[in-house]
Amino acid sequence: EFCKTSEIKEILYKVLVVGNFGVGKTSVIRRYTSGIFSPHYKLTIGVDFALKTLIWDEHTKINMQLWDIAGHERFGHMTRVYYKYAIAAIIVFDLTRLVCVMCGIHRCCLWGLSILIILILFFPLFYFRQPTFDAVQKWLDDVRQKVVLENDEPVPVLLLANKCDLDNTTAQVDQSKLDQYCEDHNLIGWFPTSAKDNTNIEEAMSFLIEKIMQIS
């Protein structure tokens, strides 16, 4: 009888964290699970795991198992295996690169061959500034294709616009556009986040957990 009073339900949630390379997936996860941030980029190879245990309320303990999937993995063959039994997904993109897309890399292509040559010459530069918001759509398609809930419903997907600490990026984000995007594509919502400054990380994760608890 004494034991009954301390009965706690323990739940495990597998959550995927996806997005292009370098957008800050590992940083967001490390900030959330260990409270630390490193400015040095160490790319993830394949997949990494992190666990966060939360005492949600007096009866519930939640183990968030975060699957940190390397940015280049969408082109790999393993994602279907990685995605199995996931209950939710987080798509991360880099706010600073959104600005770059908005100013129109695609339009540049219309300028003809001379621009093309410049593009080739500066290839590494453009490579690192590839439009990650386009990538959001690709990652979303990937998640939708490869994972569904037990009842065949789509998994809840949260969008994180990361690196909001960097210069005047938040001001340039079209918030209503992102709201609209989430509505159109059935995402549960989006947050501007910074793994560096610890902005909205806890808030975003709690928001996701609440959504997961509503469906499970």
- State the residues that interact with ligand GTP by CB under 6 A: 19, 21-27, 38-41, 43-44, 70-71, 162-163, 165-166, 194-196
26 binds Mg ion (CB under 5 A): yes
Q: Which of ligand GTP, Mg ion, none interacts with 24 (beta carbon under 5 to 8 A by kind)?
A: ligand GTP
Strands across the sheet with 189-192, in order?
47-57, 60-69, 9-18, 88-94, 157-162, 189-192
**Tokens found for residue 97:** 């690169």
| Residue 71 vs 156, nearer CB to ligand GTP | 71
Question: Least distance (Å) from ligand GTP to the CB of residue 139?
Answer: 11
Question: Least distance (Å) from ligand GTP to the CB of residue 6?
Answer: 38
β pairing state of 47-57 and 60-69: antiparallel
| Residue 62 vs 132, nearer CB to ligand GTP | 132
Q: Which of Mg ion, ligand GTP, none interacts with 41 (beta carbon under 5 to 8 A by kind)?
A: ligand GTP
44 binds Mg ion (CB under 5 A): yes
Question: Least distance (Å) from Mg ion to the CB of residue 46?
Answer: 10
Q: Which of ligand GTP, Mg ion, none interacts with 21 (beta carbon under 5 to 8 A by kind)?
A: ligand GTP
